[in-house]
């Protein structure tokens, strides 16, 4: 079920205004109602295009043609102002619990429509932690990226020959950041329970990442 609940927090897309990315977030708030209140509060100056509750209810907050305020500082594929280049989807989750089945199914439905409408491939779907590795950790270690990849709604790398980890991440789209931050962001998405220093498994998976076509 999709409901419309307009947020006043949006503006015009800048630059080319073309949607190139979909950025996934978790709300990190106690409930969907709390998140909805914040995303619609003019004083908070934050919003997203969609908010998905744990029960699968989808709230449409900002029209896809407009610039929602979800990404903040960061970049992807060598370019900034991610808000002007993306659709933002918030998932009601504190970051400490698994994402509900109904919520994931609703996300898959929304993603399918967004990618189709904007002519995007699975490489366009990223996490907030991907584009802002020095400051963000969502959608977090409990988010099932592999599930999306199986359905063609995200990517999952096949291990290649271990190479230059940072160069491979940069080619995929990651911004310049400290090596520790980049390893943390990479593992949050592709090896969420890995620990310790950079190893050949990290390098091999990074070598299998596609290049962002931006």
DSSP 44-103: T----SEEE-TTS-EEE-S-TTSEES---S--BTTB--HHHHEEEEEE---SSSPPPHHH
- Residue length of the chain: 214
79: phi then psi, degrees, rounded to nearest 5 = -130, 145
> What is the domain-level CATH number for residue 29?
3.40.80.10
Closest CA to 80 of 175, 12, 169: 175
Assigned domain for 204 exists: no
How far from chain centre, in Å, is Cα 27?
A: 12
- Number of separate domains in the chain: 1
86: phi then psi, degrees, rounded to nearest 5 = -140, 165
What pTM value is reported for the model? 0.97
Distance CA 166, CA 207 (A): 10
Q: What's the pLDDT tens digit per position in 148-193? A: 999 999 999 999 999 999 999 999 999 999 999 999 999 999 999 9
Closest CA to 157 of 205, 117, 108, 98: 205
pLDDT at 16: 81
Assigned domain for 23 exists: yes
Placement of tokens 């900002």 in the chain: 62
pLDDT at 2: 86
pLDDT at 179: 97
Assigned domain for 116 exists: yes
User: Which residue segment(s) compose the domain that 64 sits in?
Assistant: 2-157
Distance CA 144, CA 146 (A): 5
Q: C-alpha angle with apex 50: 45 to 53, nearest 5 degrees?
A: 110
- In the predicted model, residues of the chain with pLDDT beneath 50 are none
Query: Is 161 designated active site?
Result: no
Placement of tokens 């992807």 in the chain: 76
In sequence order, what are the residues at sequence separation of 6 or more whose Cβ sits closer than 8 angstroms to the Cβ of residue 195? none
Among candidate residues 12, 45, 90, 108, the one labeled active-site is 90
pLDDT at 214: 60
Assigned domain for 202 exists: no
Distance CA 6, CA 3 (A): 10
């Amino acid at each position: 079920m999709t409901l419309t609940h307009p947020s006043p927090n949006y503006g015009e897309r800048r630059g080319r205004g073309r949607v190139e990315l979909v950025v996934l977030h978790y709300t990190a708030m106690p409930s969907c109602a709390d998140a909805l209140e914040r995303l619609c509060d003019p004083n908070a100056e934050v919003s997203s295009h969609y908010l998905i509750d744990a029960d699968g209810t989808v709230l449409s907050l900002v029209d896809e043609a407009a610039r929602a305020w979800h990404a903040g500082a960061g970049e992807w594929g060598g370019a900034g102002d991610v808000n002007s280049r993306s659709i933002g989807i918030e998932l009601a989750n504190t970051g400490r619990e698994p994402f509900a089945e109904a919520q994931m199914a609703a996300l898959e439905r929304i993603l399918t429509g967004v990618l189709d409408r904007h002519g995007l491939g699975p490489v366009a779907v990223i996490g907030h932690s991907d584009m802002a590795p020095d400051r963000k950790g969502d959608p977090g270690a409990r988010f099932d990226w592999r599930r999306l990849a199986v359905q063609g709604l995200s990517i999952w790398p096949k291990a290649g020959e271990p190479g230059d980890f940072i160069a491979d991440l940069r080619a995929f789209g990651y911004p310049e950041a400290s090596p520790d931050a980049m390893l943390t962001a990479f593992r949050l998405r592709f090896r969420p329970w890995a620990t310790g220093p950079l190893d050949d498994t990290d390098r091999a998976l990074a070598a299998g990442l596609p290049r962002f076509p931006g």
